[in-house]
Amino acid sequence: MNDIAQTPEPPYYAVIFTSVRTPGDHGYAATAQRMLMLAEQQPGFLGYEPARQESFGISVSYWSSLEAIKSWREHSEHRKIQSMADQWYSKSCIRICKVERSY
Amino acid sequence: MNDIAQTPEPPYYAVIFTSVRTPGDHGYAATAQRMLMLAEQQPGFLGYEPARQESFGISVSYWSSLEAIKSWREHSEHRKIQSMADQWYSKSCIRICKVERSY
């Protein structure tokens, strides 16, 4: 089961990814697992929290800096997957945030 | 069904609430509905996105300013509910974030 990410004291960064899935898998589950494995290996990766309820999902990844987020976004395999995302999501939104406080 | 919140151009603020639910309802559903109704009436409320998958949930509320978040946290009925949260959540984390970019 998913759990709350163990993140350090702020400040750090969060990427909130909200999405509505298309019907069917289309290789989604395997790709998501592969992307998480790659993300976890990136410098500055701090944690990941996903939840999907019916077709609507929120996932939050945590990073030490904006540079770490940028490096992950530009990762070659990640970029390739981003270009294929339309088959999995009917809509999506990415919000880049600075976590200022947590409790 | 839940959907992506229609938020303005950044900067604005996000409150990421991650939690693990206790078994049973204990009045949770009705209380959550009431709190959302109250939150929507608060000055500076911009939107709300919830997703729960099994017992693990992420909800994100969006606000125009830190002052708006503070006012909502100190709302008398909301404060009363906060003090009762242990019956609903075995653990939880609140992260206050500044949304710097979205796309």
Task: Work out the minimum CA distance from B41 to partner chain A, whole angstroms.
Answer: 23
To the nearest 10°, report the CA torsion of A3, B62, A18, A8.
Answer: -40
| B64-99 burial code (b ≥16 CB/10 A, e <16) | beeebbeebeebeebeebeeeeeebbeebbebbbbb
* Strand, helix or coil for residue A99: strand
Provide, as residue numbers in chain A, all residues whose Cβ is less than 8 Å from the Cβ of B97: 14, 97-100
pLDDT band at A13 (very low <50, low <70, confident <90, very high): very high
In which residue are the tokens 């702020």 written? A10
At residue B98's C-alpha, the angle toward residues B93 and B100, to 5°, is 135
Tell me which residues of chain B have a pLDDT lower than 50: none
A90/chain B closest Cα distance in angstroms: 11
| Residues above pLDDT 70, as percent of chain A | 99
Q: Sheet harboring A89-102: ordered strands across?
A: A45-53, A56-63, A12-21, A89-102, B89-102, B12-21, B56-63, B45-53
Q: What's the predicted TM-score (pTM) here?
A: 0.95
Phi, psi of B91 (to 5 degrees): -155, 160
For the record, the structure tokens of A17 come out as 């990814």
Q: Which residues of A touch B94 (CB under 8 A)?
A: 102-103
User: Which one of A53, A62, A90, A94 makes the best mutation probe of the B interface by having the most chain B beta carbons within 10 Å?
Assistant: A53
Would you say A60 and A14 are in contact if contact means Cβ atoms under 8 Å apart? yes
Query: What's the pLDDT at B2?
Result: 86
Q: Backbone dihedral region of A28: left (phi > 0), alpha (psi from -120 to 50 degrees) or beta?
A: alpha
pLDDT of residue A1 exceeding 80, the answer is no
Rounded distance, CA A32 to CA A81, Å?
10
> Could you tell me how many residues make up chain A?
103
Contacts of A92 in chain B (CB under 8 A): 4
- Which helix or strand (DSSP H or E) is residue B101 part of? strand B89-102
Q: Which domains does chain B have, with CATH numbers?
A: 15-99 (3.30.70.100)
| Chain A CB contacts of B52 below 8 Å | 51, 53
* Amino acid letter, residue B78: H
Distance of CA A96 to the CA centre of its chain: 11
Query: Could you report the per-residue pLDDT of A62-96, keeping only the tens digit for each?
Result: 999 999 999 999 999 999 998 889 999 999 999 99
Candidates A12, A16, A55: best to mutate against B (most CBs of B within 10 A) is A16
pLDDT of residue A2: 86
Provide ipTM, 2 decimals: 0.95
Q: Kindly list the distances between the CA atom of residue A99 and the CA atoms of A62, A64, A68, B81, in Å, as whole numbers in the listed order.
A: 9, 10, 15, 24
Mean model confidence pLDDT for chain A? 95
The A-side interface with B (CB below 8 A) comprises 1-5, 7, 10, 14, 16, 18-20, 49-60, 91-103
